[in-house]
Amino acid sequence: MMNLTEKLALATLHRFDPEVAHGLSIKALRAGLTPCPGPVTSARLRTQIAGIDLPNPVGLAAGFDKNAEALKPLSQAGFGFIEVGAATPRPQPGNPKPRLFRLTEDRAAINRFGFNNEGMEAIGARLADRPRDAVIGLNLGANKDSQDRAQDFARVLEHCGAHLDFATVNVSSPNTEKLRDLQGKAALSALLAGVVETRNGLNKRVPIFLKIAPDLDEAGLADVAEVAVESGIDAVIATNTTLDRAGLASAHKGEAGGLSGAPLFEKSTRILAQLSKRLEGQVPLIGVGGISTAEQAYAKICAGASAVQFYTALVYGGLSLAGDIARGLDTLLKNDGFENVSEAVGTRRKDWT
């Protein structure tokens, strides 16, 4: 639960421009001014995905710590695993500001950052100094002006792979022009083949995850499922932000970019369940989109996710939400008679398909 200090800090941050507030939150983490109670775990919460041991299945989604600046405090915030980035080969400023908008009435956000980051060399240097007792992955991106975006993903993996527990191929951001075209069957197969080949040349085996959009139609989802199995990747993250604006109330609802937060929950969970049905356990899934409570994390798991991630809810619920969701999930599993979270995966998939 948020204490008074955290509530006051959140209220203060909301007085600032959203991107400025985000920068201040990273600085506060680095200065040790945020709650870091340590990992939340139990026999019920400990699990595995793609061979990775997790203290709990509740992770931080990519985008919060783009440049891997707060690895140590985030690893002590209650999450079971952390994903940083996206990182591109060369630094890039991203799209013009303003490019981040709070949709307070909708408990949501819209961003059109465009892979703004300091580049793989700066990010890789920080990852080399990472805490070794945490599970940390990197979201791989491509430069906007790249002549070979598929090669960009492999380059970032090659440079940073030695310091990673997993790497995510991000072809689902709506904020880099034509990036989502790489979700097509032929393009995606070729891209993943290159990334897997690069992974196989590393001195350690880094599990490769694929992050998909929630806006795929049935044919697109079928293609993703087929490619995921054939390519030999280790997990699929479902989903990234959406271009859908249905049902929003905020004045910022018309802003261009990807929508995240509460309105994404049902749509992303249905995509997750549909993909789970197609894959039938051949490739594990990580559920993302609209999670802000333990009940919603549990729903994603019961729909087919082996683990979950969230980010936007931190804007409204504070960093203590990570531990709250993990502990709440433990209670829900106990109440339903599950000895381990893995037993609950996919048990209520039919509710979403």
| Residues carrying an active site annotation | 173
DSSP letters spanning 58-70: EEEPTTSSTT---
Tokens of 310: 């969230």
Burial letters for 108-143: b for 16+ Cβ neighbours within 10 Å, e otherwise? Answer: bbbbbbbbbbbbbeebbebbeebeeebbbbbbbbbb
CA dihedral for 324, 330, 332, 335, sign (positive or negative): negative
Q: Could you tell me which of 217, 263, 214 has the C-alpha nearest to residue 238?
A: 214
> If you search the block for the tokens 């197969």, which residue do you land on?
189
Q: Mutual orientation of helices 265-279 and 294-303 as an angle, nearest 10°?
A: 30
Cα distance between residue 275 and residue 304, in whole Å: 8
DSSP one-letter code for 87: E
